[in-house]
Structure formats: C-alpha cells, structure tokens
Structure 1
Amino acid sequence: MGRETQTEGKPSASFDTVAASAMMKELQAAYCSGTTRSYGWRISQLKCLLRLTEDHGEDIAQALRSDLSKPELESYVYEISMLKNSINLALKELKKWMLPEKAKTSLTTFPSSAEIVSEPLGVVLVISAWNYPFLLSLDPVIGAIAAGNAVVLKPSEIAPASSALLAKLMGEYMDGSAIRVVEGAVAETTALLEQKWDKICYTGNCRVGRIVMAAAAKHLTPVLLELGGKCPVVVDSNINLKVSCRRIIMGKWGCNNGQACISPDYIVTTKEYAPKLIDALKKELERFFGRDALESPDLSRIVNTNHFSRLTKLLDEDKVSVKVIYGGERDQSKLKIAPTILLDVPRDSLIMNEEIFGPLLPILTVDKLEDSFDIINSGMKPLAAYLFTSDNKFRERFVRNVSAGGLVVNDTAIHLAVPSLPFGGVGDSGMGAYHGKFSFDTFSHKKAVMYRGFIGDADIRYPPYTKTKVRLLQALVSGSFLAIIRALFGRS
C-alpha cells in the first residue's frame, strides 16, 4: 500500500491513478501560482532540506543500518555529508545559476542582443534507488528545487526504513503544496508514471529504465536515466600496488559491499601481473575485514533475499563456481556474502553478462593490456571505467578509446564527489547528467530570448524580392563582410 505524505505528514489510505491525478492537479496549481519560481522559495526549501539532514543524521544512519546494515562511516560520508555539500553548493551558487547567460548575435539580426534564460520545467518526478536511498533520492530533488520546480519523490520500497523516514521528514520540513513524497511499490509507481510530468529522473536498472522511458514517451516527457552497468577496472603493472588495491577494495566492497552503480564490476590485467595483484588484494581484504568477513561490522549486507538469490545464482553457475580463488562464503540468514574474487571466468557466463551489483569481483587476464579496450567496448557502455597506470601514453589511449559515463585514473568511485563534474551515463548506462550546476541545468529549460528595437529595419527582408536583395540576404546570412560588399556593388 502506497501513501502520499503532505506537509501535515498525514498519509492517505491508498495511492492509485485517481489519487495520482488529484495530486498532479494540486502540484500544477502550486507551480502555476509562481511560488516555486521565486529565489526566496528555492532558498528557503534548500535550507529546510539542509536542516533536515543536520537534525536527523542519527535517524538517517539508523534507517540505513536497518535496510542495508550500512556502516555508520559509510552513512555519514557517502550519504549525509555528500547531501550537505550538495545543498550548501546550491545555496552558495543559486543566484549566479539563475542569472541569464549572454549570447552572441549575428550580422543577420543587427542591431540586437540575446540571452539564455533558465526557467523551471514544471512538475517533475524523481524515482530513486535503494542502495543509497537518501543520496539518490535527495540529490536530484536538490536540483529540481534549485531550478524552481514542483517535485514528487518516489523512494524505493526495497529500503523500507529509509523510505518511511524520507516520507516522514519531507512531510515535516518541506513545503507540501509543491513537494510531495509517495511511498509504495509497483502499483504506486505505475500510477505515477501514467501522469504527464515535465521531467522524470529515474535511478535503477535497465529493465525498469525501459519501462519508465516507454511511459514517458506517451506524454513526450524528457527523462534522466541513471542505470549503471558493468564498470571495468584496468590494472597496469607500473603502479603502487598496495595503494591501488586499497582503492579498488574501497570502490568495490567499501561502497555498500558492491551494491553501487559505480562499483567496479570486473578487473582486466595481464596474465603476468595477475598473481601479484591477487595476492595484494587478498592481503588488503583481510586487513580491512578480517579473516571472517561475514562477521565484519564494516561490510554491508545484501539488501534482501531476492538479491541474495540472484548473486548466489551468478556464483553457483557450474563454469563459474570453480573459478573462485578467494572468499565465496555466505550466510543466508544474515544476508551476507563475503568479498569474493574469481579468476578468468568464461566470457559467456552470467556473471560477465549481467551487472553484478554485489561483492563478487571477476578478474580477466589478457596477453597485453591494450586487449582490455576490446573487452570493454564489446559490451554495454559502463557508467564508470577505471584505470590504474603510471604510463601517460596508455592513460591517454584509455581516455580516448573507452566510452563510459565517467572515467577515473588511479582511483575508483571518487568522481561522484566532485560537483564540477557531470554524473551520468551513456548508451545503456543512462542518459542525461546531474550534480552541482548540472543538476540545476537538467531540471531547467534553456529558453532563448532575443531583443530588438525598432531601428535598423531593412527593406531587403520584405517583398518584392529582387536579385539584389537575394544576394545581400545570402551575404548577411553567411556573415562574410567581403560577400556583403560584393552584394552591395552587384558582384557575385
């Protein structure tokens, strides 16, 4: 049963298409009133969101612990602190972001001036994911509010404690006339997708992404899709091995135990270097999580039994299970799977053809590192790709030849924390981007505006059309002074 949380925090009994339609009318009325467009409203709502995160850090960490057994450090660093940074940046820069951008004009429209005005899209929908339920819910909402939109947030039902807390706190802190939270599962999401939105932001998997995009297409609604994919790590031999392994481990198992869209999905290295890399990974994993990783309080659990079964299926495939060289332990009662390394799994196995989204890490070996390009580019374009090398020429080739939503050299996942970089996918890993000003831009329409006075009204644009007018207009459109002179003097 879904529920819609308003300012008073009083949920309705159910949420279906009728309720969704009624809610849309209320939000459209709020948006059309002009309230959300004002700088004052945007700032006030961003401050409310900041106060929400500051007042309820412990509650948020507890909800994350309940849903994912997420370690407290991960909760504060990767969710709460990143949200605060995102809000503070918007508060600091919003006035500048809202200013019109000057645009150049041409001889064809002389005399004139032009600018690009950022205007809100209207009423937008944010459908978030369960793995980072606060960050992935509220970071897009920050952009939607900063851009002046009314917004509906649909948290993931797979993280029920986080969803309930989001609904409660948003209802208490935010302006319920323009900002709503709708809880629920497939039925509630379906009811939401039947409405005509001005933009939909969805974070999740490709299968649901296609459903969202198909629903949006019926209303010609633009979409921002963050879909993940198989994120590769290419490891050269000329590196600081210990530092590289620590960074790979933190990007894989230190980020929600592999349940992250930018988590390393597999490693590619040379046959010659693989033994050194594997030994170093084992040593650092034991140092981080102990000899019995299932008992480590610093390792998140698998989110639910369905995902546990999915990962078990990947691991237990006949041609894969024999490739485990480290880890593989699991405890279904606790929904825990230990960090697991596999060596040279078959390319046609399930684990190499699905996004893993868990603590399993295959290592593929090649004769020469350049072969990694073919492996990466033969599959779906990843959301992120990582390279560890000290070879500048190889680094340049990697950047030039690998297509991914984002690239990081000599680390993993940290580009997510840089607001001056767009975060988004390409191809199957998604479309559109956000973070920092990119969030403001993605929820804004860039409106072209041109200004002219009444002087300089030339006869050449009006009938009757003579050969001289045609030549002169062609010259003006080309922007060439020489062509204009020739046209004025009747020369071709």
Structure 2
Amino acid sequence: MVPTLNAIRHSRRHLARWMRPQRRPVAWTFRPARAWIRYQPLGCIGIIAPWNYPLYLALAPLVDALAAGNRALIKPSEYTPRLAELLARVIGRAFAAEEVAVVTGGPDVAAAFASLPFDHLLFTGSTAIGRRVMAAAAANLTPVTLELGGKSPVIVGPDYGVRSAARSIAFGKFFNAGQTCVAPDYVLAPTHMVRPLAVALLREAQRAYPTVADNPDYTAMITERHHARLVAAIEAARAAGAEVLAHEDAGAAGLRKIGPTIVLAPPAGSLLMQEEIFGPVLPILPYDTIEAAIATVNAGDRPLALYCLTHDAALREAVLARTLSGGVTLNGTLLHVTQDGLPFGGVGPSGIGAYHGRAGFERFSHARGIFQPGRFNGLELVRPPYGFVARRIARLLIGR
C-alpha cells in the first residue's frame, strides 16, 4: 500500500513539469525555426498483474498510465480472486467503465486479454508467460512492457561485514517467502566467508521468523505445485552432495510453507542454479576473485536486479561497469524498486522497457516531434529547377 501511495504522490507532485513541451535544438541549416516534443496519451493501456504483489503491481502501472492521460484495463491474477473482486469494486466506484475497468477470470481470459488491440500492454510475470504475451500482442503490433524475472545475484565483497550482509540478504530473500521478482536468487561470497555467512543468514531468518507454520508474518507458497517443485529442488541438491541449512518447523509442509533454507554450492546443473527459484531457498556460491564472481553473473541471462555489498569503491565500480541488470541496489536489497525517481524494468530475458515516475509517464506517452520553420526558410531556395543558387547552397551545405 505505501509504495502505491508514494507513486501517486510522486506523480501528482511532478506531473505538470513532465507534461511541459520540451524544446529541442535546430540545426543552423534550418534556422530560423523551432522544434519541440509534445507528450500525448497513447490511448488504452492493458495491465496484466501477477499474484505475488497483486495490489501494487496492478496500481503502480495504473498510476503511470493515468498520469500520461490514458484509459486502462486491468487483468489481475486468477490466483488472487478475492483481491481481484475487491479491486473491481473499488475501481468501479472511482472511475467510469470507459476510463478504467477490471477484468477477472482464468488463463483463458488472460490469453484473450493479451490478444486485444491495446495501444500498449504491460505484463508482470514469468519469462515463459511473457513470451506468450509478447507473441499475442505482436498480432496487433501492440508495443509491450514486460516485467519478468530471472536469477538476481548478490555479490558480497570481502570487505563487507558478515552480519550486515546477512541482515540485508535475509530481508530481501525471505520477505514474502522469496516470492518477489527482484528477490536475491543466489549469493556469491568469498570462499572464506561462505560458511560464516550461511550460519549468519539462518540465524537472521530465525530471529525474524521464530516459527514458520503458525507465523502470520511468514508466507506460504502460492500453490501445491510450486511448493512441491521447491521441496524436490532442495532434496535434489542434498542428494548431489550440497550442504543444506534449514529453519525447519513441524507442520509447515501441510500449510504449503517452506522454512528459510540455505544451500551451499549446489551443482551448476541443478534446478536451483538453472531456474529462478521464487521461494525461500538461497544458494551460496564461493568465489576466489571478483573477476570470477563477475564471470559467473555474466554466464547467465541478464537479471532483473543485482545487489553488490561492499565499501570498496573500485570493486563496486568493477561490478557496475562489467555486468548488466535491470536495476541495482548497493549495500542493500530490493530498495531500488520503490524509488519513484528511478526507472524499474528488466533487460533481455528479464524484461523489456521500464516504468515508475517519469519513466512510466514517458513509457505510456507518445513523444510527438513538432517542427515549425520561420517565415523565411532558406532551404526552400533549393528546389527545382536547380540553378545557380541551388548549386551554391548545396556546396555550402556539404562544405565544398
């Protein structure tokens, strides 16, 4: 709720400035003249929201769409039916149906929704479903913004305190039981720090969540299938020889809950290292040099987020200069997402395009270029029939 309200306040505070026409320079060959950009609404924006943050990820893009002057149609996830119904009622009371509306239903409705000829379509969800959404939108040449996911790494510098690192990583990883698109997916730590960090992470998780099964602050997996997938991944890593540290709690499994789990050096080919985890399971990998850590990140798809924990300016610059991710939080996790002054989006398989604040206003606007020549336009002299004046002007323009 708080990030949504902040997004509204931010847009209301800055919208008048965003809307102003922006002057652009005019080449001397076209002067006297004026050139400027005018931002205009695209029309109707489609928003397909996910289940993990169903309110924020429906309303944050709506704020940007409305700020740009558009209408919008929202499709919440079928996994959050009560929130979807509530959102439909609240939106229905606040807006006319032709301004903003909510469509509810299952996967068939979502597929039909993605096939509508929107002026822009924003989807938040998995990379696999994002490909389908993009294919459906392509039939209408509908431009898309895809907020997907991926394996967001944490690189811990050798200078960074173990307790401080554990506190930041545990906050980002175990919030919502890891069901966050920008949650840390794996950690790269200096070899000598791996075990102390794993122990500190488990201790921090136990402090934040003393119990799992009966703890209302600790989230369950969204479905039985998702729960079973992660349980199988943990057991596969253990069977392959990886060490597993877990905050176990009797009765948690029956409630689709998995306690915070740390896996030390799972095999590179395991599910935990090949797919986005999207749950409270955190692999920790050792590295000997920062070059090796950067190489590990760059060997995978470009992630939605990257986290670098270090006070060493040279190490931090090496990571920022030699990796590419959708966004970055330094010496923390998750927090770049809630900054309305920063664009939020992925790159490559982690997403297409960005929104939030001014970036969202521009994403859902058409930047219309406008040119107005002065009363005298010298280039009009260069017109057929081409004579002496036209030749002299042409030589002047090409520098001969």
- What does residue 219 of structure 2 align with? 300
Instruction: Decide which of 451, 454, 457 is 2:375's aligned counterpart.
Output: 454
Three-state SS of the structure 2 residue aligned to 1:285 is: helix
Pick closer, same or farther for the CA change 1:190–1:325 going to 2, 3 Å.
closer
Q: Is the 8 A contact 1:233 1:267 kept in 2?
A: yes
Q: Give the Cα–Cα distance (whole angstroms) in 2 for the partners of residues 161 and 283 of structure 1.
A: 35
CA shift at 1:155, angstroms?
0.5
CA shift at 1:392, angstroms?
1.0
For 1:315, the aligned partner's letter is: I
CA shift at 1:372, angstroms?
0.9
Q: Is the 8 A contact 1:320 1:349 kept in 2?
A: no
Alignment of 1:204-283 (within 5 A): 204-254=125-175, 256-283=176-203
Three-state SS of the structure 1 residue aligned to 2:150 is: coil
Q: Is the 8 A contact 2:237 2:270 kept in 1?
A: no
Q: Is the 8 A contact 1:425 1:431 kept in 2?
A: yes
For 1:259, the aligned partner's letter is: Q
CA shift at 1:470, angstroms?
4.6
Q: Give the Cα–Cα distance (whole angstroms) in 2 for the partners of residues 475 and 313 of structure 1.
A: 74
CA shift at 1:458, angstroms?
4.4
Q: Give the Cα–Cα distance (whole angstroms) in 2 for the partners of residues 417 and 334 of structure 1.
A: 30
Which runs of 5 or more structure 1 residues have no equivalent in the other structure? 1-79, 484-491
Instruction: Decide which of 270, 294, 302 is 1:349's aligned counterpart.
Output: 270
Q: Is the 8 A contact 2:68 2:361 kept in 1?
A: yes
Pick closer, same or farther for the CA change 1:172–1:282 going to 2, 3 Å.
same
Q: Is the 8 A contact 1:460 1:473 kept in 2?
A: no
Pick closer, same or farther for the CA change 1:171–1:321 going to 2, 3 Å.
farther
Pick closer, same or farther for the CA change 1:373–1:463 going to 2, 3 Å.
same
Pick closer, same or farther for the CA change 1:474–1:440 going to 2, 3 Å.
farther
- What does residue 161 of structure 1 align with? 82
For 1:244, the aligned partner's letter is: A
Q: Give the Cα–Cα distance (whole angstroms) in 2 for the partners of residues 328 and 266 of structure 1.
A: 18
Q: Is the 8 A contact 1:143 1:439 kept in 2?
A: yes
Pick closer, same or farther for the CA change 1:459–1:97 going to 2, 3 Å.
closer
CA shift at 1:99, angstroms?
1.1
- What does residue 325 of structure 1 align with? 244
Pick closer, same or farther for the CA change 1:433–1:470 going to 2, 3 Å.
farther
CA shift at 1:460, angstroms?
3.4
Three-state SS of the structure 2 residue aligned to 1:295 is: coil
Alignment of 1:17-96 (within 5 A): 80-96=1-17
Instruction: Decide which of 203, 207, 218 is 1:287's aligned counterpart.
Output: 207
- What does residue 203 of structure 1 align with? 124
Q: Can you list the C-alpha shifts for 1:32-72, whole angstroms capped at 9, x where unaligned? A: xxxxxxxxxxxxxxxxxxxxxxxxxxxxxxxxxxxxxxxxx
- What does residue 364 of structure 1 align with? 285
Q: Give the Cα–Cα distance (whole angstroms) in 2 for the partners of residues 474 and 289 of structure 1.
A: 77
Q: Give the Cα–Cα distance (whole angstroms) in 1 for the partners of residues 262 and 240 of structure 2.
A: 11
Q: Is the 8 A contact 1:265 1:362 kept in 2?
A: yes
Q: Is the 8 A contact 1:315 1:321 kept in 2?
A: no
Asked whether 1:432 is paired with 2:353, we answer: yes
Q: Give the Cα–Cα distance (whole angstroms) in 1 for the partners of residues 103 and 237 of structure 2.
A: 43
Q: Is the 8 A contact 2:162 2:193 kept in 1?
A: no
Q: Is the 8 A contact 2:78 2:107 kept in 1?
A: no
Pick closer, same or farther for the CA change 1:252–1:459 going to 2, 3 Å.
closer
- What does residue 336 of structure 2 align with? 415
Which runs of 5 or more structure 2 residues have no equivalent in the other structure? none
Q: Is the 8 A contact 1:294 1:329 kept in 2?
A: no
Alignment of 1:96-175 (within 5 A): 96-175=17-96
For 2:25, the aligned partner's letter is: K
Q: Is the 8 A contact 2:157 2:315 kept in 1?
A: no
CA shift at 1:322, angstroms?
4.4
Q: Is the 8 A contact 2:37 2:369 kept in 1?
A: yes
Q: Is the 8 A contact 1:157 1:184 kept in 2?
A: yes
CA shift at 1:471, angstroms?
5.8
Three-state SS of the structure 1 residue aligned to 2:185 is: strand
Equivalent residue pairs, number: 398
Q: Give the Cα–Cα distance (whole angstroms) in 2 for the partners of residues 169 and 275 of structure 1.
A: 49
**TM-score w.r.t. structure 2 length?**
0.95
Q: Is the 8 A contact 1:416 1:423 kept in 2?
A: yes
Q: Can you list the C-alpha shifts for 1:221-244, whole angstroms capped at 9, x where unaligned? A: 110000011000011221132222
CA shift at 1:200, angstroms?
0.4
CA shift at 1:260, angstroms?
0.4
Q: Can you list the C-alpha shifts for 1:398-425, whole angstroms capped at 9, x where unaligned? A: 0000110011211111001111111000
By relative contact order (CA 8 Å, sep 6+), the higher-ranking structure is 2
Q: Is the 8 A contact 2:31 2:374 kept in 1?
A: no
Pick closer, same or farther for the CA change 1:126–1:310 going to 2, 3 Å.
same
Three-state SS of the structure 2 residue aligned to 1:333 is: helix
Q: Give the Cα–Cα distance (whole angstroms) in 1 for the partners of residues 335 and 391 of structure 2.
A: 57
Three-state SS of the structure 1 residue aligned to 2:228 is: helix
Pick closer, same or farther for the CA change 1:113–1:344 going to 2, 3 Å.
same
Q: RMSD of the TM alignment (CA)?
A: 1.8
Deviates more, 1:302-311 or 1:396-405: 302-311
- What does residue 365 of structure 2 align with? 444
Q: Give the Cα–Cα distance (whole angstroms) in 1 for the partners of residues 229 and 42 of structure 2.
A: 39
| Fraction of identical pairs, as percent | 37
Pick closer, same or farther for the CA change 1:239–1:459 going to 2, 3 Å.
closer
Pick closer, same or farther for the CA change 1:461–1:391 going to 2, 3 Å.
same
Pick closer, same or farther for the CA change 1:108–1:171 going to 2, 3 Å.
same
Alignment of 1:465-480 (within 5 A): 465-466=386-387, 469-470=390-391, 472-473=393-394, 475-476=396-397
Deviates more, 1:447-456 or 1:401-410: 447-456
Q: Can you list the C-alpha shifts for 1:161-198, whole angstroms capped at 9, x where unaligned? A: 21121111111122222211000111111222222111
Pick closer, same or farther for the CA change 1:109–1:246 going to 2, 3 Å.
same
Q: Give the Cα–Cα distance (whole angstroms) in 2 for the partners of residues 339 and 142 of structure 1.
A: 34
